[in-house]
Amino acid sequence: MAILPFRFCPRCGVELGEGGRCPRCGERMVPRTVPAVGMAVVESGRILLVRRRWEPMVGHWALPAGFIEGHESPVATARREVAEETGLLVRPVGLLGAFPGGGPAGRVLLLVYRGVVEGGRLLAGDDASEAGFFSLDRPPDPLAWGPHREILARLREAAPARPGRPGRPGRPAPSA
Ligand SMILES: [Zn+2]
């Protein structure tokens, strides 16, 4: 995902001039903010985190998250990423917030949904080398870049997400 400043016009292929303006088509190519979507799953005061398998920030702990692919909705992105990276099927139950400042250039805007586990089996996969539930108060080290500390602080203050529909018992927390 290219989020660093452009040097050439992606449309015309010519080198950009002053202020990132293309001398041929006149378009200004400024570094843009790219939305990504993550999932916050908290069960009994423990948060679902994955360990990044690849650079950047390899080995750092982060929410299951990723970029929107094709025309999928942000909710679909959240469900897909958490399934790919943790094996768990999670139902989004609301938007926690939009957190800027992520990614290697600080230009990723992370939309974070809260979710409850509906099924699946905890197993690290795809871009994650490990996955598990960790204490919100004592998250593992090192945490990934950007807004992760702010997100965890927000989750500590927030009321727990409601598990299941009325009359349906919540699932027990899978062990890490
Ligand atoms: Zn151009």
CA of 10 to the centre of ligand 1 (A): 7
Residue 143 has pLDDT above 80, yes or no: yes
Domains of the chain, by residue range, sit at 33-157
Q: For residue range 17-68, what is the model confidence (pLDDT) as tens digits? A: 988 899 999 998 887 888 999 999 999 999 999 998 887 788 889 999 999 9
Q: Which residue numbers are catalytic?
A: 130
What pLDDT band is residue 170 in, cutting at 50, 70 and 90?
very low
CA of 26 to the centre of ligand 1 (A): 6
Question: Percentage of the chain surpassing pLDDT 70?
Answer: 87
CA of 47 to the centre of ligand 1 (A): 45
Quick check: 39 and 65 in contact, CB under 8 A? yes
CA of 29 to the centre of ligand 1 (A): 9
Could you tell me which CATH number the domain at 33-157 has? 3.90.79.10
Q: For residue range 156-169, what is the model confidence (pLDDT) as tens digits? A: 887 666 555 443 44
pTM of this prediction?
Answer: 0.78
